[in-house]
Structure 1
Amino acid sequence: MIQLIRILDDLPDGFPALLADAASEGVGNMARLADGWASGDQRFDRDGEALLGALLAGELAGIGGLSLEPAAAEPARRVRRFYVRPAFRRHGVARALASALVQEALDQVDLLTCNAAASPAAAPFWEAQGFSSNGSGPWTHVLRRSAS
């Protein structure tokens, strides 16, 4: 069972292993998360922001953040610092994290962005979550809340 936790004060136990996995794959966003957290520049602690961890069998399997999107012409959020460890892929971890982040964002704003340039699998993953390709800003994909 996947358990999602809100990360508030410290990066969770298991983050060093997640950081090492990301580095071994050439993914730099977890190092940027660690640096931003340590410096205080990006703690995902402003109104509208969140950092979630996904635990599977008690281990940190993945992490994902939601931040303000200052480059948009309207109030928006951005999914960032999203990563799932290779050993935990194909277990629904990314889908669970993405779903929680999307729901939280679209409860606040109509527009959510992400940059899916990190890996060849990223764009198809985000498109499966409902995002559309869109390069009109410093992002590759957007998701807009549908009018009810």
Structure 2
Amino acid sequence: MIQLIRIIDDLPDGFDALLADAASEGVGNMARLAEGWTGGGQRFDGDGEALLGALLAGELAGIGGLSVEPAADEPARRVRRFYVRPTFRRQGVARTLAAALVQEALDQVDLLTCNAAASPAAAPFWEAQGFSPDDTGPWTHVLRRSAS
């Protein structure tokens, strides 16, 4: 069973292994997360921000953040620092983590953005979550809350 945790004070146990996995794949967003967290520049603790960890069998399997999107012309959030360790892929971790971030964002605003340029699998993944390609800002994809 996948357990989601809100990361508040410290990066969770297992982050070093996640960081090493990301680096071995040439994905730099976990190193940027560590730098921002330790330096205090990005702690995901502002209004509308969150950092979630996904645990599978008690082990940190993935992480994803939500921040304010300053480049949008309307209130918006951005999914950022999203990564799932290779050994935990294809087990629903990314979908579960993404769904929680999307729900949290769209409970606050109508527009959610992400940059799916990190890997060839990123764009198809985010499109499967309902995002559409969009090049009107410093993002690659957007998801807009549908009118109800």
TM-score range, shorter chain: over 0.9
* Amino acid corresponding to residue 98 of structure 1 in structure 2: A
Instruction: Give, in angstroms, the shift of residue 25 of structure 1.
Output: 0.2
Instruction: Give, in angstroms, the shift of residue 74 of structure 1.
Output: 0.2
- TM-score, normalised with respect to structure 2: 1.00
Equivalent pairs, count: 148
**Structure 1: where are the runs of 5+ without partners?**
none
Question: What is the aligned partner in structure 1 of residue 55 from structure 2?
Answer: 55
Instruction: Give, in angstroms, the shift of residue 37 of structure 1.
Output: 0.1
* Amino acid corresponding to residue 88 of structure 2 in structure 1: F
- TM-score, normalised with respect to structure 1: 1.00
1:128 is the counterpart of 2:128: yes
In 2: Cα distance, 1:8 partner to 1:116 partner: 25
Structure 1 residue matching 2:136: 3-state secondary structure: strand
1:22 is the counterpart of 2:16: no
Q: Calculate the aligned-residue CA RMSD, in Å.
A: 0.2
Q: Residue by residue, what CA displacement relative to the aligned partner does 1:82-132 show, whole Å, maximum 9, x if unpaired?
A: 000000000000000000000000000000000000000000000000000
Question: What is the aligned partner in structure 2 of residue 75 from structure 1?
Answer: 75
Question: What is the aligned partner in structure 2 of residue 86 from structure 1?
Answer: 86
1:137 is the counterpart of 2:147: no
**Structure 2: where are the runs of 5+ without partners?**
none
Which stretches of structure 1, 4 residues or longer, exceed 4 Å deviation after superposition? none
Instruction: Give, in angstroms, the shift of residue 16 of structure 1.
Output: 0.1
Instruction: Give, in angstroms, the shift of residue 67 of structure 1.
Output: 0.2
In 1: Cα distance, 2:16 partner to 2:108 partner: 32
